[in-house]
Structures are given as C-alpha cells and as structure tokens.
Amino acid sequence: MRYRTLGGTGIEVSAYCLGTMMFGAVGNPDHEDAVRIIHAALDAGINFVDTADMYSAGESEEIVGKALRGARRDDVVLATKFHFPMGEGPNRGGNSRRWIVRAVEDSLRRLGTDRIDLYQVHRPDPATDVEETLAALADLVRQGKILNFGCSTFPAEEIVEAHHAAERRGLPRPRTEQPPYSILARGVESSVLPVCRRYGMGVLTWGPLASGFLTGRYRAGRPVDLAVGRARLNPDRFDPALRLTERKLEVVERLVELADELGCTLPELALAFPAAHPAVTSVIIGPRTAEQLESALKGAALELDDTVLDRIDAIVPPGTNVYHPDGAWRPRSLTEVAQRRRPAGERAVATA
C-alpha cells in the first residue's frame, strides 16, 4: 500500500480509502461481517476510513465505531460527513451552525470516539452563508472535536468562495475535497481538481467504479438484474432502454479490451485511473463483501503509464462526463426553473 500526504495537513494516508456507505441496511446489514471487512482492510495497510452520518441513517458510523474500538482507533485517519437530513422536520440537516453542533455530537457518539480526524461538509447549502459554516467548524477545531475539515462534491466556484471567506474572516480553510471521479465521470478534471491543487487541498475521490459499471458485472448484450447491488439502489441508471446506459456499456467494452491487454481486471484498471492524477491523494473503495475488498486490493500496486492513460483519453476524453455522477445533489441553478428565467413581466418581447 502506498501512502500520501493529505493536502497540507501533514497526515499520511493510504492511497486507497475504505468507504463504508455499503455497511448497514443499504448494503451489508451484517455488523459482524462488516467489522471483519474493515479489519481486513486495515490489515492490508489501509489507514483511511470514510463514512457519513446519513449512510443507512447512522448505522454505518455505528459499525465503524465497533470496528475501531480500542487500539485500532489511533491507527486510523477517520473521516465522516454531515449535511443530508437526519430525521423528519426542519433544522435536522444542512450546513447551519445549529445543525453542525448537533450533528458532530451524534457522529462522535455513534463512532465511539472523542475526535474526528476529517469532518466534511457533504454538499453545499445555498440557504446558509458559507462564513456561518466555516465559523462553526473552526470552533469545533478549537474544541478538539474535529482536527481538520473539508468538503464533498463542491463545484469549483464554491470551493474558491470558501477559501476567500476563510481568508476574509481569519478562519481555518477547507483542507480537502471529496469529488466523484472515474473513467466514466471525468468532469472534475476541468476545474475542481485544478482548484484543489492551487489551494493545496487533499483529494479523496468517490465512485471509481461508476456505480458498478466498471466492475465488469454489466456488459453490452447481457440482461441487468435490477434486484441486486447498485442496480437495486439506482435502477434508473441501469435501464437498458436508455441511450445513456448504452453509451456507458459501449465504453466498458473498450475498457475491458484494454484491461485484457494489460493483464489486469477492469476494476483494477478503474481504481488505478483516479490514483494516477497528481491532484488525487486517495481513492475511496466501497466494498459490500470481503470478496469485493479482496478484488480491489489486488490492484493496489498497479500504476498506469502515459501510454495507457493516452489510450483511456482516446476512449473518454479528459474533462468528459459520460454520465452525471451525483444523483443525490444538483445545484439550484439547474434544478429550479426560477433560477434560470426572469419573471414573465420582465422578459424582453421577441421581435421578428
């Protein structure tokens, strides 16, 4: 296992980060089995574990807490996230100070620890001033409840705004970003990753297997079982009648040929790809089973040379998204019609 420095924090983390979204009701509900998987990852050299409060409504954090009890905790760089609603009613999510001070206590309790090494803002919150969020996180750093903080799936402009706000207020700045990044989703290469490099941020990427499309399980001309795996969680992404699905499968067939030539598996190629980018610190792998973990670890030493990366560029050009990788969040500028159109009375009258 290779290790890299997480931005400017001075913390050394493994090039693979264990993501735990699939531990709990959403994926693997067997707590003892999930704990064994976490221990196997640590034994293999992974020292970076990422979770979030909303993964299976806190169950993932509880499982991670069980796995890290005792001496294991001090050997692990522990990351979690807040933002998405945790329960019914207002003010039980978002990026306000009111929610942050509650969310961090809940996460510390579920994780069974007295500090979080990396506390991440899971998504932007247009209802909250970024300075409000930064000030609340700065207080948690001073209290020792979190050691560093970062963001996840933020557009480049929001990352820049956060840094400028921190400079204006004399506050600690975000140390990391967690963007989606895979061969099928290269959009972050255009601006997010360059911005992270400019500000010296660590980058831990999620979704390297593109919701399962880069596992090799889904191939052109083969039926998709919508009752298992990622297809069960997001069936709309696997609809064979959609042109988007056809496009993804076309790319997969070309990548399978490339992997065969290299003598590696498609997942090994897929995981090695984001790790090759100079801005990337660690690639999050999210196994549901011990077999999936073992498969991912087999490619940990694989490094892609320029010839291979050039061939990948020919299949999916740099900065290109074959599909939109984040179905959980999109900016208001795209989702709300009122953000894109003037009120009817203010629109210019079209003339011939």
**CATH number of domain containing 232:** 3.20.20.100
Is residue 136 included in any domain, yes or no? yes
Q: Which residues of the chain have pLDDT under 50?
A: none
At residue 110, what are phi and psi to the nearest 5 degrees? -65, -35
The answer to whether 235 and 212 have CB atoms below 8 angstroms apart is no
Question: Which residue range is the domain that position 238 belongs to?
Answer: 3-342
At residue 147, what are phi and psi to the nearest 5 degrees? -100, -35
Is residue 351 included in any domain, yes or no? no
Is residue 347 included in any domain, yes or no? no
pLDDT score, position 243: 62
Category of 159 on φ-ψ map: left (φ > 0), alpha (ψ -120 to 50) or beta:
alpha
The answer to whether 64 and 78 have CB atoms below 8 angstroms apart is yes
Is residue 118 included in any domain, yes or no? yes
Is residue 218 included in any domain, yes or no? yes
**Residue 55 a catalytic site member:** yes
Round to whole Å and give the CA distance between 102 and 174: 20
pLDDT score, position 278: 97
Is residue 350 included in any domain, yes or no? no
pTM of model > 0.75: yes
Count of structural domains, the chain: 1
Is residue 352 included in any domain, yes or no? no
Catalytic residue of the set 16, 55, 218, 323: 55
Is residue 243 included in any domain, yes or no? yes
pLDDT score, position 324: 86
pLDDT score, position 180: 97
Q: Angle 7-12-18 (CA atoms, 0-180°, nearest 5)?
A: 95
